[in-house]
Amino acid sequence: MNTDAVLLAIAVIGLVTTFGITLYLVGYFRSAPEPTDSNHRPAGAAAANARQLNRGELRALRRRRQGVAAVNERAEQREQDMQAEHAENFEGEEEEDGGGPRVAGTSRKAMQKELKRQERERMRKFEASRREEVKRLREAKEEAHRKRLEAADADEDAREAELEAMRLRQEVKAKADFERWRAFMSVDDTGVDADMADDESAESERLHAVAEYVQVRRRMHRSNSRSYVLNTR
């Protein structure tokens, strides 16, 4: 055992020594070469790419801003053209009416105020109609929910009524069975003599009748319990 361990240690040491000599021969333990421009070239290329991407993003952002500004400018120009057209139409109607001096409140500023007032009126009517529609939908939803609750209550009442009727029928049937078994087990003093009362066969029949009655009652109780559990689910 000791000899094997020594041989294994010697083999490991020899292997490590051989590996170290090989690395030394290929220059692994020599000093690293000085960095050259070729080593820095990938980093410079990455930085150039990053700068190019940043410039591209800046150009895209500038184009978006210019586009938004152009859209806003066109919208303002369109609004001014519409206001000018309304003002010209209003002035043309005044000239057709008589060509007299313009009265107060017919200037361009007054026309702009009137247009804004009309726009506010349209928005107010739109909001009122929207609120009315939302109210109508909410009331319809509440009405449908109320009808579903009423239908569920009606179903529950019908189910309870059916269970009550079934319970009453079972009680009546159980009572009739009990009366029948009691009449069967009762012994009439006038029609039975002493020998019949002591007869073992008669006693056996009575015991058998009692056992059947108990079994019937148990089956009825299990049926009622199972029906109640199923209906409560």
| Residue 27, pLDDT above cutoff 70 | no
Question: Within its chain, how far is the Cα of 167 from the centroid?
Answer: 43
Confidence of residue 194 (pLDDT cuts 50, 70, 90): very low
What's the whole-number average pLDDT of the chain?
71
pLDDT of 100 reads 43
Question: Whole-angstrom Cα distance, residue 4 to residue 2?
Answer: 5
pLDDT of 192 reads 47
| DSSP conformational letter for 35 | P
| Residue 216, pLDDT above cutoff 80 | no
Which residues have C-beta within 8 Å of that of residue 223, sequence separation ≥ 6?
170
What number is the average pLDDT over the span 99-126?
78
| Residue 228, pLDDT above cutoff 60 | no
**Coil, strand or helix at 47:** helix
What is the number of alpha carbons within 13 Å of residue 191 lying toward its C-beta? 3
- Specify the range with the lowest mean pLDDT, choosing from 22-26, 88-92, 101-105, 228-232: 101-105
Confidence of residue 139 (pLDDT cuts 50, 70, 90): very high
pLDDT of 180 reads 78
